[in-house]
Amino acid sequence: MTQSPSERRVVVTGIGVVGALGSDIHTFWKNILDGRCGIQPITRFDASAYDCKIAAEVRDFDPTPAFPTPKELRRTDRFVHFAVHAGWQALKDSGLDLDRCDRDRVGAFIGSGIGGLETTGDQHQILLARGPGRVSPFMIPMLILNMGAGMFSIYHNLRGPCVATCSACATSTHALGEAWRTLKMGDADVLFAGGSEATIVPLGISGFCAMKALSTRNDAPHKASRPFDAGRDGFVMGEGGGVLVLEDLEHARRRGARIYCEIVGYGNTADAHHLTAPSPEGEGAARCMKMALRGAGLNPSDVGYINAHGTSTPQGDVCETQAIKNVFGEHARRVAVSSTKGATGHMLGAAGAVEMALCAKALETGILPPTINLENPDPACDLDYVPNQAREQRVNVVLNNSFGFGGHNATIAARRFEG
């Protein structure tokens, strides 16, 4: 008998991450729990003339195993390398045998906030120095931001729904939410969902420096990203990718899959307020969290942990704190909240998926990741931010928040899987 959308359940069965703290979920998770920080002086280019000289670079990364040929690797931008590798890791982690699946019902929802910025910068330099005839014929397919989803689906012959979301720093959380909706509607059995970003390039760092958005604590890179701390002075750029395997529960059960958690709700709102600043008191973010809870049939008191957007910007951290208080009332004092961007940097379009991976691990293991560098709490940020050390605390329900320039808000609600 055909199930209705309200009866269909969606679970997470695989996780893949690439970031400064590791290129697989096991290494990444261990480093997060150990309180390690991936932020170091920039090495990908000479940053001596820039106000911000630090970032969370992905180092010692070999994407070759995830690509069919070295030629394909050369014809794709670094953000696609992250997306394809994270998807490949998620596939391996899930134990999914694609040859036993209906590939018309397996797809990819993998977005990027900016896309191939390195390709854009490099090819522009070639245009200026050598003329239009020397611009690469692969420039456009290398830089357009849908190519993470496109190339992953091509390499694995996935013929189901294929979408690339783009909503700045909310990109990959929107990808997860829209994938969840697609599975709930019965239009797919399995979707690889997430995002990637590779903007630690001169054009990216200079642009964010010009906005005065980045930390300039260059003499102490490991201390530079400090969400909710009174000494925070901006975010630190990160790069990488995160992809989760979202699967229809009955499909997962038939193949005996290991299940990390169940996704149960999704919020998606707009601030309609300002180009870059959040709406006053986090009004749009609050509506987003309420939408996710309402769709999941949850009460605020059901939530035990929130992975905050928490970028380490003066205004953003206060507004998110206010939004949480608005939604949770007195329970806000009892819910654990942490931002992992102190460790990972801000991975922009990849951030939400990587942070959802950490939420899934928190539900699976009963360990909450810490907010590192929280040494002198801002009086306006007065919740339980799991400061500096991971905490053993079993929770049943988590929220994952992501907010982006343009006023984009996205929240995923997930719960511990109980059969």
Neighbouring C-beta atoms of residue 281, cutoff 10 Å: 15
Q: Cα 160 to chain center, whole Å?
A: 23
How far from 184 is each of 171, 258, 382, CA to CA, in Å?
20, 20, 37
Return the SS3 of 240: strand
Helix (H) or strand (E) holding 364, with range, is helix 351-365
DSSP secondary structure string for all residues of 194-205 = EEEE---SHHHH
Q: Check: CB of residue 96 under 8 Å from CB of residue 190.
A: yes
How far from 338 is each of 40, 74, 130, 317, 363, CA to CA, in Å?
22, 38, 49, 11, 14
Compute the half-sphere exposure of residue 72: CA atoms within 13 Å on the CB side of its CA: 18
State the catalytic residue, choosing from 309, 359, 381, 408.
309
Could you give the CA distance from residue 332 to residue 223 in angstroms, rounded to a whole number?
A: 27
State the catalytic residue, choosing from 37, 169, 319, 381.
169
Could you give the CA distance from residue 242 to residue 255 in angstroms, rounded to a whole number?
A: 24
Could you give the CA distance from residue 49 to residue 80 in angstroms, rounded to a whole number?
A: 28
Could you give the CA distance from residue 349 to residue 351 in angstroms, rounded to a whole number?
A: 6
Beta bridge partners of 113: none
State the catalytic residue, choosing from 85, 251, 346, 408.
346
Return the SS3 of 104: helix
Could you give the CA distance from residue 41 to residue 61 in angstroms, rounded to a whole number?
A: 17
List of E strands, 202-285: 240-248, 261-270
Residues 6 or more apart in contact with residue 413 via CB below 8 angstroms: 263, 264, 265, 266, 267, 292, 293, 295, 296, 298, 303, 397, 398, 399
Q: Active site includes 309?
A: yes
State both tokens at 354. Answer: 């990587």
Q: Active site includes 169?
A: yes
State both tokens at 227. Answer: 């969400």
Q: Check: CB of residue 175 under 8 Å from CB of residue 157.
A: no
**Residues that are catalytic:** 169, 309, 346
